[in-house]
Amino acid sequence: MERKKKRWAILNLNPCIDRNVYLKKPFEKDTLNRVDHTVVDYGGKGLNQAVAACLQGYEVEYYSFVNRNEYEPLAACLNRPGLTFHPVFTQCRMRMNIKILDGQSVGTECNEAGGPVTKEEVLALTEALLAEPVDVLSMGGSLPAGMDVSAYADLIRAVKARYPGATVLLDCDGEPLKAALPAKPDYIKPNRRELAHLFGKQENDLTESSVLDGALRKASDLWGVRILCTLDRKGSVYYGPEGRYDVQSVPVPEKGFSGAGDTYLAAFAGSYLLEGRSLEEALSRASRAASAKIAKEGTALPDRAEVDAMPEAAVFRAKEG
């Protein structure tokens, strides 16, 4: 019997335009910094993840707000095989995020807030998302003005109530993440800073492996979630019922960090939740995909062939105790 194809929905509440500015020299404050070149792309966690997923060969349903005056160029950008766009029109314009990468690969970001969206627009997006059964739901990113801090929690509960078998992946931080955890997302993808902030700590507090392990265990025990924690150049770590897995990164020339975490999550979800690969295979593929993205400028994302060309990323299962 042919296996039923799983339906993967990706929700983006706060899409943006990413303006990636590249300098040849190290960035200097309080003086003129000359730009070498600039790359402009559409972005936002959900949009990047949806494009990354379809480039890697998966079919996805993408839900997002968009201003009517900005719909056509965005729809053209999303006109890709395997990607279905479900727009909900809003009066607000798309926010601008500025990323600066200097000659020493030091990155700085300046992100606008986005919004405001209205209660009617939020309701329309929620109803669109719940209109059809979903097997895998990815959501994440910052919340636009006009949305309550409990927005992700409300959406998770609504999806779980309507479609109890759905697997939910959440990639956000700060108060929206704290509010969403009691709603029981299945996976969260914090970076080290975001995981530290969950417990009122600073990123440097989690540099020791044993301390990081303690935070992972605590988050898992408190909220029953599986955790994919990205560690920048030091790879990533998975923690769940299967135990802890440390995942190496694949070294590449660093050209563009925007969308690396989204590419990582898209590769993991596609490999593990849709294709049914082993956990180790999915984690290795996620790391390879993130590196393939970092090797590309701006928010340009890698396709399946580019990910396949990356060397294997080693995955180590930590010993119990």
**94-105: per-residue pLDDT in tens?**
999 998 989 887
Question: What is the chain's alpha carbon radius of gyration, rounded to the nearest angstrom?
Answer: 19
The four Cα atoms 153, 172, 74, 137 give a dihedral, to 10 degrees, of -50
User: Does a structural domain hold residue 2?
Assistant: no
Asked if the structure places residue 88 within a domain, the reply is: yes
Cα atoms found within 13 Å of the Cα of residue 159, Cβ hemisphere only: 33
| pLDDT per residue as tens digits for the range 48-97 | 999 999 999 999 999 999 999 999 999 999 999 999 999 999 999 999 99
Query: Does residue 1 lie in a domain region?
Result: no
- In this predicted structure, what is the pLDDT of residue 101? 87
Q: Which CATH number goes with the domain that contains 97?
A: 3.40.1190.20
- Tens digits of residue pLDDT in 18-53: 898 999 999 998 999 999 999 888 988 999 999 999
Q: How far apart are CA 314 and CA 320, in angstroms?
A: 19
Q: Residue 168: inside a domain, yes or no?
A: yes
Provide the β-strand partners of residue 40.
19
Kindly give, in sequence order, each residue whose CB lies less than 8 Å from that of residue 32, ignoring residues fewer than 6 positions away.
Answer: none
Strand order in the sheet with 83-90: 83-90, 60-67, 8-12, 136-140, 167-171, 187-188, 226-230, 236-240, 243-247, 315-317
Closest CA to 185 of 229, 154, 207, 210: 154
Q: What is the pLDDT along the chain (321 residues), one digit of tens a residue?
A: 455 789 999 999 999 998 989 999 999 989 999 999 998 889 889 999 999 999 999 999 999 999 999 999 999 999 999 999 999 999 999 999 998 989 887 888 899 999 999 999 999 999 999 999 999 999 999 999 999 999 999 999 999 999 999 999 999 999 999 999 999 999 999 999 999 999 999 999 999 989 999 999 999 999 999 999 999 889 999 999 999 999 999 999 988 888 899 999 999 999 999 999 999 999 999 999 999 999 998 778 999 999 999 999 999 998 765
Any domain includes 32 = yes
Residue with tokens 């949806």: 50
pTM equals: 0.92
Q: Which residues on adjacent β-strands are paired with residue 142?
A: none
Cβ atoms within 10 Å, residue 293: 30
Q: For residue 148, how many other CB atoms are within 10 A of its CB?
A: 13
For 258, the domain range is: 8-317
How many folded domains does the chain comprise? 1
What residue ranges in 135-210 does DSSP mark as E strands? 136-140, 167-171, 187-188
Residues 156 and 180: their CA atoms lie apart, in Å, by 8
In degrees, rounded to 5, the angle at the alpha carbon of residue 46 between the alpha carbons of residues 109 and 270 is 120
Identify the H or E element spanning 120.
helix 119-130
Residue 182 falls inside a structural domain: yes
